[in-house]
Structure 1
Amino acid sequence: MHYKDYYATLDVPRDASLDQIKKAYRKLARQTHPDMSKATDAEARFKEAAEAYATLKDPEKRAAYDALGHPKAGEEFAPPPQWRHEHAADAASFDDLDLADLLAALGRGHHRGGARGPVATPGHDYENTVQLSLEDAHRGTTLSLDLKEAGGTRTLEVTIPPGTREGQKLRLRGKGGKGRHGGPDGDIYLHITLAPHPVFRADHHDLYFDLALAPWEATLGAEIEVPTLDGPVVLTVPAGTRSGRKLRLRGRGLAQGKAANGDLYALVHIDVAPKPSEAERALYQELSRISHFNPRAPKETP
């Protein structure tokens, strides 16, 4: 069994009052909650803080914990001999318990020889990867999720909120494995991926697509109907638009919950007819005769 320094976890002195412990836990919980923090170790730190608080807020569990002395954090240790004597009913299972489970078991004994129930064990957490279309990520959807458990397969209806993005992790509280002996049910973590789209490419909540323009559209400007996830809209192409320019449509990207939608970007490239007609060739030849434009000339510094 490894020793965990609960006081160090909450950053409080060993003689801290209950109010100090509560205040320290609330501050740490806000900083490390997986829904609030993007740190990779946020979830682990959040659970460590909850474990420490569950022990130190309970007078009996805290007294049992303090009776261990003060080994170094992470150090291997065994409960003192008097613990095994006083809690003989639990002694056989000491070596298989985590520190938190041991304290929970001992905390239920109000007097020597008193009856104690089995250790409360939280249910298993499950992780799954879900692939969404851009349309479903944008508008939200409902999925059927099959979970394989010891008793068979369980089907769960999962609501995916609008604005879900690539790489996001959704937490379904209490939808995991069942807890034992009063322990809390586990959670389900859904890792979101987005399926490739035939038109759009996603970057967080912004979308990009390629827009081909004819030479005269780029030169003279044009009003062009372009696709969005909510249906076609008209894009104004300014006169003199060059290849490689990005034209932005504000708020036409992916939804992002209560915040404003992302933007949609059209990436311009100029295309030409592969087999121009005789009339078209004649017009291009006339244009080449009268035009003084040289695309390879050095660009003037603004």
Structure 2
Amino acid sequence: MAGDPYAALGVAKTASDADIKKAYRKIAKTDHPDLNPDPAAADRFKAAAAAYDLLKDPEQRRRFDAGEIDEGGQERPQHRYYREHAEAAGNPYQQDYGFQGDPDLSSVFEDLFGHRAQGQGGYRARRPGGGGGEADFSMRGQDHRFQLEVDFMTAATGGKTRITLPDGGDLEVSIPRGAHDGQTIRLKGKGGPGYGKGGPGDAYLTLGIGQHPDFQRDGNDIFVTLPISIDEAVLGGKVAVPTIDGTVNLTIPKGATTGQKLRLRGRGVDGGDQQVELKVVMPPRPDDELTAFMESWRKTHGYDPRAKMKTGA
């Protein structure tokens, strides 16, 4: 560790032992490399861990404040003979993450990792550099959460899509038939890697369903507006209707009108129905023959479709 250990923890030199521990807990919960992948966060955590390891011991703290040892727990140059001892294996002042042998900090790592290492009564912590042995801990990998946009038809009929993972890899995802907006799909073991004997985390995909130019969906029912011509409205007949599973024929009754609704049973999502609302559409430009016919027809068959509408009086 280089620099001021008090600054690394964000406390004053007059801070109490409790304040120092509290500051370290706060940094551990936000910047631990297993919780925050940002390299800058990892550097802050390492600095804070080394600082806490130095200051948690009253004697070490006294000696640092007195200038007898530096921020790494090493003797100042005028005591070179002690530096050799300080660098020896097993020296309690060696740099570490600051939680070995401190049962009071078990609650910090219970908050972070949610379990204890077996057989030790506390957390099995890894040393800087990933050293093995009894100092390592096992931890389940982080869960990853993503927003996944899925097109209307894939959500309705099911299908596959691909997502890009944080590590740059990609993954094929199966979208179940009838998937709905806001639904969460769990991909077991596709989250962050575990540590030690801990397994990988899971990935959770929250779906956002896109719009369709023709279809609307309510639950498992599909709604569509079907344009029909004047002659189809008057004479009736069979017309082709799009559904999520392809085109089917629909019988239009004679005298059909705009707003009339017909139902195709079982043509929605997973046994739902498709509701078809008719819309009578005029030709782009009525020709002379149609105009002459309607003028003649109106003389003998004219009617008022607004006769039953109430006035505002």
Query: Are 2:139 and 2:197, in contact at CA under 8 Å, matched by a contact in 1?
Result: yes
After superposition, where does 1:109-258 map in structure 2 within 5 Å?
Answer: 109=120, 118-148=136-166, 152-254=167-269, 256=270
TM-fit CA distance, 1:284: 0.8
Q: TM-score, normalised by structure 2?
A: 0.56
Whole-Å separation in 1 of the counterparts to 2:181 and 2:113: 37
* Deviation by residue 1:111-155 (Cα, 9 ceiling, x = unmatched): 9xxx9765442211112222223332233322222111xxx4232
Which structure has the greater CA radius of gyration? Answer: 2
Q: 2:289 aligns with which of 279, 287, 292?
A: 279
TM-fit CA distance, 1:160: 2.0
Q: Which runs of 5+ in 2 are unaligned?
A: 1-20, 22-98, 123-132
Task: Evaluate the alpha carbon distance shift between residue 291 and residue 127 of structure 1 in structure 2; reply closer, same or farther with a 3 A threshold.
Answer: same
Whole-Å separation in 2 of the counterparts to 1:100 and 1:279: 81
Given residue 216 of structure 1, which amino acid in structure 2 is its aligned partner? Answer: D
Query: Are 2:141 and 2:199, in contact at CA under 8 Å, matched by a contact in 1?
Result: yes
Q: Does 1:93 align with 2:91?
A: no
Partner residue of 1:20? none
Report the secondary structure of 1:93's partner residue: helix
Whole-Å separation in 2 of the counterparts to 1:175 and 1:193: 20
Partner residue of 1:108? 119
Query: Are 1:101 and 1:119, in contact at CA under 8 Å, matched by a contact in 2?
Result: no
Task: Evaluate the alpha carbon distance shift between residue 120 and residue 283 of structure 1 in structure 2; reply closer, same or farther with a 3 A threshold.
Answer: same
Partner residue of 1:6? none
Given residue 119 of structure 2, which amino acid in structure 1 is its aligned partner? Answer: R
Given residue 198 of structure 1, which amino acid in structure 2 is its aligned partner? Answer: P
Q: 1:294 aligns with which of 293, 304, 308?
A: 304
CA RMSD of aligned residues (A): 3.1
Report the secondary structure of 1:94's partner residue: helix
Given residue 137 of structure 1, which amino acid in structure 2 is its aligned partner? Answer: A
Is the deviation greater in 273-282 or in 192-201? Answer: 192-201
Query: Are 2:189 and 2:201, in contact at CA under 8 Å, matched by a contact in 1?
Result: yes
TM-fit CA distance, 1:192: 1.6
**Percentage of matched positions with identical amino acids:** 32
* Deviation by residue 1:28-77 (Cα, 9 ceiling, x = unmatched): xxxxxxxxxxxxxxxxxxxxxxxxxxxxxxxxxxxxxxxxxxxxxxxxxx
Task: Evaluate the alpha carbon distance shift between residue 197 and residue 99 of structure 1 in structure 2; reply closer, same or farther with a 3 A threshold.
Answer: closer
Whole-Å separation in 2 of the counterparts to 1:250 and 1:133: 24
Query: Are 2:153 and 2:244, in contact at CA under 8 Å, matched by a contact in 1?
Result: yes
Whole-Å separation in 2 of the counterparts to 1:238 and 1:295: 19
Q: TM-score, normalised by structure 1?
A: 0.58
Query: Are 2:224 and 2:276, in contact at CA under 8 Å, matched by a contact in 1?
Result: yes
Report the secondary structure of 2:170's partner residue: strand
Q: Does 1:270 align with 2:285?
A: no
Report the secondary structure of 1:227's partner residue: strand
Is the deviation greater in 91-100 or in 119-128? Answer: 91-100
Number of residue equivalences: 203
Query: Are 1:132 and 1:192, in contact at CA under 8 Å, matched by a contact in 2?
Result: yes
Whole-Å separation in 1 of the counterparts to 2:115 and 2:239: 69
Whole-Å separation in 2 of the counterparts to 1:118 and 1:136: 45
Whole-Å separation in 2 of the counterparts to 1:278 and 1:166: 50
TM-fit CA distance, 1:274: 3.7
Report the secondary structure of 1:97's partner residue: helix
